[in-house]
Chains A and B, each alone.
Chain A
Amino acid sequence: MKQVKFPLALLAATLTLGSVTQVQAGATLDAVKKKGFVQCGISDGLPGFSYADAKGKYVGLDVDVCRAVAAAVFGDAEKVKYSPLTAKERFTALQSGEVDILSRNTTWTSSRDAAMGLNFTGVTYYDGQGFLVNKKLGVASARELDGATVCIQAGTTTELNLADYFRAHNLKFTPITYDTSDESAKSLESGRCDVLTSDQSQLYAQRIKLAAPDDYVVLPEVISKEPLGPAVRQGDEEWFDVVRWTLYAQLNAEELGVSSANVEELAKSTKNPDIARLLGAEGEYGKDLKLSKDWAVQIVKQVGNYGEIFERNVGAGSQLKIERGLNALWNKGGLQYAPPVR
């Protein structure tokens, strides 16, 4: 048994080193304030969530999450540096301290939350796996897809979800796996598969790629839960609170009718106590988070409330034209709900 000891010791050393790194990573907020910018891990390219525009600036829903945090901390949404990360390196980048926030369309799951040394601060987008089909097929529901040929992207949970769903409903299917979304879009177009499955947010992007987008429709069924949200390192409650309440401030702002257009006006003149508390006209709620009094004003003024960033990046104001659906506020039939500021 003697030979085994050395590798085991090495493994143990590696693990200790890993966990030590995480515990030491405290006081992110102070470090961020000191260096003067937020280092934000984003996707290396995902329509609507993070992509580069014509001027070479990063835009998207995930990008706006980081800009909002920068607005809250510095009063300047531009004080962000971006690290485009591939799916595989994203968690290491956060654990090793290379980025302060991971805002990279990452699904919140128990194993990631508990075992990866990170904490999800909230849900910025409720996603779920869906189906895109040609209207010619005359299918109105995923239940009618018995015997269909399905295009999937390899190596994601998409494959497993699909198999589970079809087995649960006693349907047969033939999978064709592809490496990139471009290939699967082309395949659907050429009729090699009847239906394309992916996260719904991406199906809308896939549809734009087709020559005749209007001939295709996204089916109503959502077969998996994919809550996407930003994550921070475990063990730093202060920073966790800042990122979490940045999102909550945006949600509260939308609920209270505070938008980038009227936020400065309201901050001065509001009579509504909820708005006054959110915008710092009443109380010292920014101080609790170690932020300035007008933290929420800066977020909404520079980045917008949740509804604004949704519409601008993925909703009606964008090319994707995704409906609010689950991402509507709780009082409008959706799931987005934020605890009050008080």
Chain B
Amino acid sequence: MDKHVFRPSLPPPALEVGVLGWLRGNLFSSVGNTLLTLLAGYLLWLIVPPLLDWTLLQADFSGSQRSDCSGEGACWVFVRERFTQFMYGFYPAELRWRVNLTVWLAVIGAAPLFMPLMPRKPIYGLGFLLAYPLLAFWLLHGGFFSLVTVETSQWGGLMLTVVIAAVGIAGALPLGILLALGRRSDLPAIRVLCVTFIEFWRGVPLITVLFMSSVMLPLFLPEGMNLDKLLRALVMVIFFEAAYVAEVVRGGLQAIPKGQYEAAAAMGLGYWRSMGLVILPQALKLVIPGIVNTFIALFKDTSLVIIIGLFDFLNSIKRATNDPAWLGMSTEGYVFAALVYWLFCFAMSRYSLRLERQLDTGHKH
């Protein structure tokens, strides 16, 4: 008997594979979808070419002054000329290595924390968290151990934005966790204190708090006692964001089943150890998206210091647009600002996704 030979399977219909198939499946699968695709295509055609034209094709990149720009497209010469001011503010040019060194130290110092095989990671991490801020303050501000003082009024640009955001995050996270624990405490005095603090700071807009710190506070202080403007802003940012972090963390604490608390107690753990070893590690893991959300908001909120005359990244750009030599360059400046803010916030959100994947050990769905 002849062996039956199956006929080779036919290739799928040309309309179902390749580019055509993908187009048909995703863009033109129905009348409604086809219409939407055409509409979206039309909008893209309207927006993208002029945008490309303005930002790249017609734009001017070289030169050193306003007259080097044709005016047809964006004048990136402005951003290039003032780039160092946008980054460092008025930090003296010959001392800028100190800012750069601070950044590099942060990168190099934090790198071991990302190595999976690094031994004694928690101890190193804690040491880094305690030592680095002191080192950074010494490098940026100076004033002792033979470094010249650079007053905070000379700080500015992206550097100031990052300082406010970093100090805000580093201060708000521990304070927020403590507040969240305090709010769920059995001790009435602590609970009332924490609830009052949280509700007060959540109830006022950051901009009014900053404004008060700058306009009202000096009137109440004794003559000649001038608290540093940046310090005032930092304290306000920490308090404000700590209240938000506290509520996010409280959400995590409430999501932990009661059994976990009881199990910790049954193991004979006291309050701090049961929180530190059992409850918080689980709770914080749950609320990473919420915490990162708060920090991204904080990063963008730093631009509110414009109201008290601190020259952060955005305000440095605004200041540069007031130079008569560059009047009318605000669009270029703000587009550049948007790009940089987006880069930072996007990086933060990517990092939080990575962290979630890494720590996601028990609750995978």
Binding site for B on A (CB under 8 A): 14, 17-18, 21, 24-25, 44-48, 51-54, 56, 81-86, 88-89, 92-93, 95-98, 182, 185, 205, 208-211, 318-320
Contacts and interface: CB of A to CB of B under 8 A. Distances in A.
Given A88-B211, A92-B216, A319-B324, 10 more contacts: A14-B219, A45-B318, A53-B325, A83-B309, A89-B308, A92-B214, A96-B218, A97-B224, A98-B218, A209-B327
Nearest to B82: A54
Interface in B197-233: 211, 214-216, 218-221, 223-224, 226
Contact of A185 (B307, B319, B320, B328): B328
Nearest to A209: B328
Nearest to B307: A86
B226 A97 contact: yes
Contacts of A97: 223-224, 226
Contact of A182 (B71, B218, B320, B330): B330
Contact of A47 (B89, B90, B211, B323): B323
Contact of B223 (A25, A92, A205): A25
A17, A85, A86, A185 — most chain B CB neighbours (10 Å)? A86
Nearest to A50: B322
5 contacts: A88-B211, A96-B226, A208-B328, A209-B328, A210-B328
A52 B85 contact: yes
B82 to A, nearest CB: 7
B81 interface: yes
Nearest to A49: B322
Contacts of A54: 81-82, 323, 325
A205 B324 contact: yes
Contacts of A51: 319, 322-324
Contacts, number: 96
Contact of B214 (A24, A46, A89): A89
B260 interface: no
A84 B325 contact: no
Contacts of B216: 92
A125 B153 CA distance: 28
Contact of A18 (B219, B318, B325): B219
B315 interface: yes
Secondary structure of the B contact surface, majority rule = helix
A323 to B, nearest CB: 16
A319 B66 CA distance: 11
Nearest to A97: B223
Contact of B219 (A88, A92, A182, A318): A92
A88 B321 CA distance: 21
B328 A89 contact: no
B325 A92 contact: no
* In the A-B complex, the 7 residue pairs with the closest CB atoms: A209-B328, A96-B218, A45-B322, A319-B324, A208-B327, A51-B322, A45-B319
A65 B132 CA distance: 42
Given A56-B90, A89-B215, A84 B330 contact: no
Contacts of A52: 85, 90, 319-320, 322-323
B239 interface: no
Contacts of A319: 324-325, 327
Interface string B323-365: 1110110100000000000000000000000000000000000
B311 interface: yes
Nearest to A85: B309
Interface string B242-279: 00000000000000000000000000000000000000
Given A24-B223, A86-B307, A208 B324 contact: yes
A93 B328 CA distance: 30
A177 B216 CA distance: 29
A23 B85 CA distance: 40
Contacts of B325: 53-54, 319
